[in-house]
Amino acid sequence: MKFIDIKTLELLYQKNFEKNLKGRRILFEDIEPLLQKLSSKFQKEIMGHSENNIPIYKISTGTGKIKILIWSQMHGNESTGTKALFDLFNFIEKDDIELSEIFKTIFTNCTIQFIPLLNPDGAIKFTRENANDIDLNRDAVSRKAPESRLLREVLDTFNPKFCFNLHDQRAIFNVEGTKNPATLSFLAPSEDVERTVTKGRKETMSVIVAMNHLLRQVIPNQVGRYTDEFYPTATGDNFQKLGHNTILIEAGHFKDDYERDITKKYNFYALLQGIYFIATAKDYANYKPYYEIPNNDTKFLDIIYKNIKITENNRNQIIDIGIQLKFKVIANKLVMYKHIEKVGDLSDYYSHNYISAENLNIKELELSNS
Instruction: Give yes or no: residues 201 and 335 share one domain.
Output: no
What's the pLDDT at 314? 80
Q: Is the pTM of this model over 0.85?
A: yes
Instruction: State which residues form the domain around 353.
Output: 303-367
Backbone angles phi, psi at 209, to 5 degrees: -60, -45
Residue 1 belongs to a domain = no
pLDDT for position 365: 65
One domain for residues 193 and 103: yes
Q: Which amino acid is at 203?
A: E
CA 251/CA 253 separation, integer angstroms: 7
In a domain, 53, yes or no: yes
Residues 23, 135, single domain; the answer is yes
pLDDT of residue 368: 54
Give Cβ neighbours of residue 197 (< 8 Å, ≥ 6 apart): none
pLDDT value, residue 3: 84
Which amino acid, one-letter code, is at 328? K
pLDDT confidence of residue 1: 67
What would the pLDDT profile of 134-153 be if each residue is shown by its tens digit? Answer: 999 999 999 999 999 999 99
CATH number, domain containing residue 274:
3.40.630.10
Could you read off the pLDDT of 152-184 as tens digits, one per residue? Answer: 999 999 999 999 999 999 999 999 999 999 999
Strand partners, 303: 323
- pLDDT for position 367: 46
- Phi/psi for 170 (5° steps) reads -70, 160
The number of domains in the chain is: 2
**297, 324, 353 — which closes off a domain?**
297
Type of residue at 228: D
Alpha helices in the chain (DSSP H): 6-16, 28-37, 80-94, 100-109, 120-125, 146-158, 199-215, 235-241, 263-280, 362-367
- Spans of the chain, pLDDT less than 70: 1, 363-370
Residue 38 lies in a domain: yes
**Alpha carbon distance 165, 70 (integer Å):** 6
**325 φ, ψ (degrees, to nearest 5):** -80, 125
Residues 207, 186, single domain; the answer is yes
Q: Are residues 173 and 245 in the same domain?
A: yes
At residue 234, the pLDDT reads 98
pLDDT tens-digit map of 248-286: 999 999 999 999 999 999 999 999 999 999 999 999 999
